[in-house]
A and B are shown apart, each in its own frame.
Chain A
Amino acid sequence: MASDLGGLFREYHESLVRMLTRRTGDRGRAEELAQETFARAVVAPPTNPRPWLFAVALNLLREEGRNAATRERRLVLVKDEDHVAAYEQPDTAYERKETQLRVRAALAQLSERDRDVLLLQAEGFDYDEIAEATGLSRGAIGTTLARARKRMLEVYTQGEGGESVARG
């Protein structure tokens, strides 16, 4: 399976890191998790790689989330981000930050399952793949997505006073 791994990596790494970055808000951590995920694929090559990779990555994330040390590290990252403003137009920086904070807050309001399904769908997963990665039944995916999208937009617009949500 070794010869497949390079292909797997090329095909899914970017998407996996993007999903994990969206989920964690921390690109470095996302890369680490992706790295770890691919390392596991070396040891136990998956038959259906995409759902497998994303499921493993999300599981790793959950495990890591229980670790207090990583929470501390995230605080450092947030601090670092404060220095971003110096390199952007203040307005742009402010808006970007605001939008991202609210999107993150909205994501945080979702149940873990809803959030995972939403993020996987955003990576182009079809319902079969989402079902495989999350362990949900295929028939439940549409309902889950409907609920997750609705909830996410509700929470997001709450902080916005009813403006268009697609602006960000």
Chain B
Amino acid sequence: MLHVDDGTLHALVDDALDATERCAVEAHLASCSECARRFAEATAMARDVTALLGALDVTAPVVAAPAVASQRAVAIRPRLVALRRFALAASLLVVASVSYEIGRREDAPAGSTRFPAAQTSVTGSPLVVVSEATTPTSVAAPSVTAITDRTVSLPKKTASQVSQTSDALPRVSAEEQVRAQPVAAPSDAQSRLAQRQVQLNAAVVTGMAAEPPGGAVATASAPVAAKHVAAVPTREAGRVLEGYTIIEDESVPMRTRRRYVSPSGTSLLLTIVSTAVERSRVAADRASQYHVATEKDRSTVRWSAFGAEYTLEGVVTPDSLMKLAAALR
């Protein structure tokens, strides 16, 4: 046998030779010091390359640049104005607020014990949330709510800047949680709605109107004011939303949010694509926990719509995709 070529040596290192080949090569190596040396070399090379590639996985917490955060705060304003104008013109449209936050146990709203927020959970999975109002109150009342942004866990300074720029946002709570407040004086019904807390586990839930579909999927202390709640990858949104009209396509980086209105005029779509940068903005003040949280892929998304507050917790994607696939068939 002539010397063994490099490819074969590496295949031997990778245990990719069939039994016959392997026998022949090993026999040769036993008798050829040159090839045995090259084999040792190939083994070391494979090991070293693996180690180098592994070094790429060691990441430090990603931290938002303060400049980016403040740019966002500035950018929110024009959209707020535009949105309010539109919302006033089309009074049926209910604009919801999406609150991102790093879940903390003490931040969790009362009654959320079933899916307690992990100490280090961060906003996570891509979601498309399609909500169609079915509660008469929320449709009938021109409840124009202020649109906030994903400012919840930005550094305190930024959060308060945001609240200053938005006169429709009277307060920032102690947990820096910016909630949508109705612009119009809230009716009794609205007040009652505002008390409602609906918890959905990460799932695609369709056709959910008056009742949550089983305690394991969702717990609701009140009827859910949404007809469709879907968690889908962004690219699939088009299919899901066939027949809907885009009323706004925000120029927020990374397709953070879009809204659609159905022919009936009452629908709302939120597209949330969470990326490392997106999350880092939220996690800016908890950088040390961020990486751990990302690794565990924990996520908490909370938002308010139609006066009710929603919480999505846990990993959304696999389950959602599965159910989406079933729903699309």
Contacts and interface: CB of A to CB of B under 8 A. Distances in A.
A146 interface: yes
A122 B317 CA distance: 25
Contacts of B232: 39
Interface size class of B (residues with CB under 8 A): 35 or more
B11 A103 contact: no
Contact of B329 (A2, A22, A145): A2
B326 A2 contact: yes
Contact of B56 (A21, A121, A126, A140): A21
Contacts of A121: 14
A66 interface: no
Contacts of A2: 322-323, 325-326, 329
B275 A87 contact: no
Contacts of A156: 52
A168 interface: yes
Contacts of B10: 142-143, 145-146, 149
Contacts, number: 177
Interface residues of A, number: 66
A21 B57 contact: yes
Given A18-B57, A122-B50, A149-B42, 13 more contacts: A3-B322, A9-B321, A27-B294, A28-B278, A32-B275, A39-B235, A76-B277, A84-B61, A103-B52, A143-B6, A148-B49, A152-B52, A168-B51
A168 B55 contact: yes
B72 to A, nearest CB: 12
A99 B248 CA distance: 44
Interface string A11-41: 0010000100110011111011001101100
A24 to B, nearest CB: 10
Nearest to B53: A122
B61 A126 contact: no
A39 B60 CA distance: 29
A42 B328 CA distance: 10
A90 B303 CA distance: 39
Contacts of A81: 62
A1 interface: yes
Contacts of A3: 322
Contacts of B329: 2
A112 B274 CA distance: 28
B42 A87 contact: no
A119 B126 CA distance: 26
Contact of B254 (A73, A119, A126, A152): A73
Interface in B43-99: 45-53, 55-65, 68
Contacts of A26: 276
A68 interface: no
Contact of B65 (A39, A73, A79): A79
A13 B14 contact: no
Contacts of B50: 122
A79 B64 CA distance: 9
A62 interface: no
B318 interface: yes
B178 to A, nearest CB: 23
Q: Ordered nearest first, which 10 A-B pairs have the shortest CB separation?
A: A28-B276, A28-B275, A143-B7, A142-B7, A142-B11, A9-B318, A146-B6, A2-B325, A168-B55, A39-B233
A104 B53 CA distance: 9
Interface string B217-238: 0000000000000001111100
17 contacts: A1-B325, A2-B325, A22-B56, A27-B59, A32-B275, A38-B317, A76-B68, A80-B63, A82-B65, A83-B64, A93-B60, A119-B53, A126-B14, A127-B14, A142-B6, A145-B10, A149-B45
